[in-house]
Amino acid sequence: MRNSVIRISVFCAMSVLLASGAISAWAASTEADYKAAYSAAETANNEAGKLRNQWTTTVSALKDAKKAAEGGDFDKAVALSKHAEALAKASIFQSTEQKDAWKAMEIK
Amino acid sequence: MASTIRVRATSSGETTEVQALIQHPMDSGFVKDASGNLIPPHFIQQLTFEYGGKPVFVADWGPAVSKDPYVKFSFKGGKKGDDLKISWVDNKGATDTSTAKIQ
Amino acid sequence: MRATIRLAATGVTLAMLLLGAARASHAADSLNPPADAKAFQKFFTDKFPKVKLEDFVNGPYSMDEGLYKQWKEKEEFPPYEFALDAGRDLFAKPFKNGKSFADCFPNKGIGIRQNYPYFDEKRGKVITLEVAINECLESNGEKPFSYTKDDMASVTAYMAFTSRGKPFDIKIPNDPRALAAYENGKKYFYTRRGQLNFSCATCHVQSPGDHIRAEVLAPALGILNAMPIYRSEWGGMGTISRRFTSCNSQVRAVPLKPQDDEYRDLEYYLSYVSNGLPISGPGARP
């Protein structure tokens, strides 16, 4: 129980980070900004894929980012890419943490 | 094609209990498929059970009935070994009929 | 003098070797499938003292009285009947080359569901019933079924039906790769994944019998005995592959491909710890 409370708080902290990331993207962005942000997010998500732990929310944020960029809204596209990157990094963190932590749940 | 209707009718002497399962998509017309297109409405409009040439149960159905619907009811009368006729018509005009012996 | 040093050195090496051996045997201790299965079953029977061991195969129906009554009524006219009939036809229908499913399986495919998945020592892989069915199709020049529903669900429904009541009898051969597959399946079962940070065990070990929205969560014990299932939520039949992939996406994890190694190993582990519980599939679930 304690454990899951801690875990939830870690995820809350991450969501705050996500939100702040989104706010900092409010300055007008260019296509180059978007491309850099998108490829960083994609790289992180590919790494999560290697760990066999991608999140559906990362995938849809990437998709939405692409759509926004195609519509010329680079502010939104950058914000969504950063959001996707943060999610992908959280999924990597989760996999790393679970490498041994899963044993705590095992019925013995 | 195998029948879309499964029926079991059992007589207790005075009444006959009927259970039926019908295979039908029962699309409401409000659901979208994976690519976002509306699935056109396709549902059973009328379901009839006839015994001795007279309807004993008629249901007017609409799009709110679930896929592969199940019905259970009983009616007065009905003898073991007699036939019970079941038929349905859907909004595309398709139909199916089946006959079951009362047990 | 020199000899003494050498002797002492050997002593140290020996001690280290012994230590190493002790550690290795300790590691082997923690990999003890029969003990796992015993503990797993005890956990559930302790948690639900009123539920008989063999009743766990009825999933949420064994946990909730109201649901149990509805289910009994439903079983008189079960929604998987159409799939079962279709499966019986598909199973009997000869392939283009004249052979049929019966030629691919021991005992002509009848009453054998409880032996799947098994570990194939030749290939070093877990073979599930769904994989065996598709391999049968392909080796006879037929197109394989989609793993998640329709024909695959129908054929597995029929094969499960002919095996009803037979206890799961999953074997782990004396092969380190089989043990590794089992361990990998266990790891997958307990590993948290997806944005919601759930493992399979979060729902099916920690919270069976509790509600998640309007549904009663099924216990992990016996969960595969009832497969495939007609799930009202799906509006149709689904296989074990469908169950695994949809559970993954519900916790917001991108599902792996059906019958990827992880899923096969997971099925191997989960079936093994339900050894002794009867096959009850095909099942119906809300």
Lowest mean pLDDT among A24-28, A79-83, C174-178: A24-28
Q: Can you tell me the mean pLDDT for C3-21? A: 44
- Confirm whether A35 is domain-assigned: yes
pLDDT for the residue B13? 85
Distance of CA B23 to the CA centre of its chain: 9
Tell me: pLDDT of C238 over 70.
yes
Tell me: pLDDT of C185 over 80.
yes
- Confirm whether A106 is domain-assigned: no
Q: Kindly identify which residue of chain B lies nearest to residue C85, measuring between CA atoms.
A: B2
Beta-carbon separation of C77 and B70 below 8 A: yes
pLDDT for the residue A14? 53
Chain A CB contacts of C202 below 8 Å: 105
Q: Which of A62, A84, A91, A95 is nearest to A18 (CA)?
A: A84
Nearest CB to B2; choose among C79, C85, C236: C85
The larger pLDDT score, comparing residue C185 to residue A108, is at C185
- Confirm whether C2 is domain-assigned: no
Contact between residue C253 and residue C202 where contact means Cβ atoms under 8 Å apart:
no
Q: Work out the minimum CA distance from B67 to partner chain C, whole angstroms.
A: 7
pLDDT for the residue A18? 52
**Distance in angstroms (rounded) separating the CA atoms of residues A75 and A98:** 35
pLDDT for the residue C22? 42
The larger pLDDT score, comparing residue C9 to residue C45, is at C45
* Per-residue confidence band for A11, with pLDDT thresholds at 50, 70 and 90: low
pLDDT for the residue C27? 45
Tell me: pLDDT of C110 over 70.
yes
The boundaries of the domain holding residue A45 are 2-100
* Per-residue confidence band for C233, with pLDDT thresholds at 50, 70 and 90: confident
- How many CB atoms sit inside 10 A of residue B84's CB? 24
Contact between residue C64 and residue C118 where contact means Cβ atoms under 8 Å apart:
no
- Confirm whether A107 is domain-assigned: no
Beta-carbon separation of B67 and C236 below 8 A: yes
- Confirm whether A108 is domain-assigned: no
Per-residue pLDDT tens for C197-224? 999 999 999 999 888 888 889 999 999 9
- Confirm whether C22 is domain-assigned: no
Q: Work out the minimum CA distance from B36 to partner chain C, whole angstroms.
A: 18
Percent of chain C with pLDDT over 90: 74
The larger pLDDT score, comparing residue C63 to residue B83, is at B83
Q: Can you tell me the mean pLDDT for C253-280? A: 97
Beta-carbon separation of C191 and A106 below 8 A: no
Q: Can you tell me the mean pLDDT for B76-81? A: 88
**Distance in angstroms (rounded) separating the CA atoms of residues C146 and C150:** 8
Q: How many helices (H) and strands (E) does chain C have?
A: 10, 7
* Per-residue confidence band for C264, with pLDDT thresholds at 50, 70 and 90: very high
pLDDT for the residue A7? 54
- Asked whether at least 3 C-beta pairs link B and A within 8 Å, the reply is no
- Confirm whether C200 is domain-assigned: yes
ipTM of the complex: 0.80
pLDDT for the residue B2? 66
In whole numbers, what is the pLDDT of chain C averaged over residues? 89
Q: What is the DSSP pairing of strand C283-285 with strand C229-231?
A: parallel
pLDDT for the residue A33? 93
Number of domains, chain C: 1
Please tell me whether the peptide bond between C60 and the residue prior to it is cis, using omega within 30 degrees of 0.
no
Chain C CB contacts of B2 below 8 Å: 85-86, 89
The larger pLDDT score, comparing residue A77 to residue A24, is at A77
Instruction: Return the CATH number at C38.
Output: 1.10.760.10
The larger pLDDT score, comparing residue C75 to residue C20, is at C75
- Confirm whether A72 is domain-assigned: yes
Beta-carbon separation of B8 and C77 below 8 A: yes
Instruction: For residue B23, give both structure tokens.
Output: 């295979």
Nearest CB to A55; choose among C191, C201, C252: C252
A63 in reach of chain C (CB within 8 A): no
What backbone phi and psi angles, to 5 degrees, belong to C210?
Answer: -85, 165
pLDDT for the residue A1? 46
Chain A: partners with 3+ C-beta pairs within 8 Å: C
Tell me: pLDDT of B40 over 60.
yes
Beta-carbon separation of B66 and C235 below 8 A: yes
- Confirm whether C263 is domain-assigned: yes
Percent of chain B with pLDDT over 90: 74
Beta-carbon separation of C190 and A102 below 8 A: yes
Beta-carbon separation of C205 and A105 below 8 A: yes
Tell me, yes or no, if C247 is annotated catalytic: yes
**Distance in angstroms (rounded) separating the CA atoms of residues A50 and B65:** 45
The boundaries of the domain holding residue C123 are 33-285
DSSP E strand stretches across B1-103: 5-11, 15-22, 44-51, 54-60, 70-76, 83-90, 95-101
Nearest CB to A53; choose among C39, C40, C193: C193
pLDDT for the residue C77? 83
Q: Can you tell me the mean pLDDT for A22-34? A: 71
Instruction: Count the alpha carbons within 13 Å of C194 in the hemisphere toward its beta carbon.
Output: 21
pLDDT for the residue C30? 64
Among candidate residues C104, C136, C200, C247, the one labeled active-site is C247
* Per-residue confidence band for A3, with pLDDT thresholds at 50, 70 and 90: low
Q: Which of C181, C201, C187, C179 is nearest to C31 (CA)?
A: C179
Tell me: pLDDT of C14 over 50.
no
Tell me: pLDDT of C9 over 60.
no
- Confirm whether C178 is domain-assigned: yes
Q: Can you tell me the mean pLDDT for C99-121? A: 96
The boundaries of the domain holding residue B19 are 5-101
pLDDT for the residue B26? 93
* Per-residue confidence band for C10, with pLDDT thresholds at 50, 70 and 90: very low
Contact between residue A74 and residue A107 where contact means Cβ atoms under 8 Å apart:
no
Chain C residues in contact with chain A using a Cβ-Cβ cutoff of 8 Å: 36, 39-40, 43, 186-187, 190-195, 197, 199, 201-202, 205, 249, 252-254, 256, 262
- Confirm whether A90 is domain-assigned: yes
Q: Work out the minimum CA distance from B8 to partner chain C, whole angstroms.
A: 9
Helix axes C261-272, C176-190, angle to 10 degrees: 90
- Confirm whether C8 is domain-assigned: no
Instruction: For residue C115, give both structure tokens.
Output: 């032996």
Chain B CB contacts of C86 below 8 Å: 2
DSSP E strand stretches across C76-202: 118-120, 125-127
Q: Work out the minimum CA distance from C168 to partner chain A, whole angstroms.
A: 20
Percent of chain C with pLDDT over 70: 90
A101 in reach of chain C (CB within 8 A): yes
CB pairs under 8 A between B and C: 24
Helix axes C240-250, C150-161, angle to 10 degrees: 120
Beta-carbon separation of C76 and B66 below 8 A: no
B67 in reach of chain C (CB within 8 A): yes
Chain C CB contacts of B68 below 8 Å: 79, 82, 235
Tell me: pLDDT of C8 over 60.
no
CB pairs under 8 A between A and C: 55
Distance of CA C198 to the CA centre of its chain: 19
Number of domains, chain B: 1
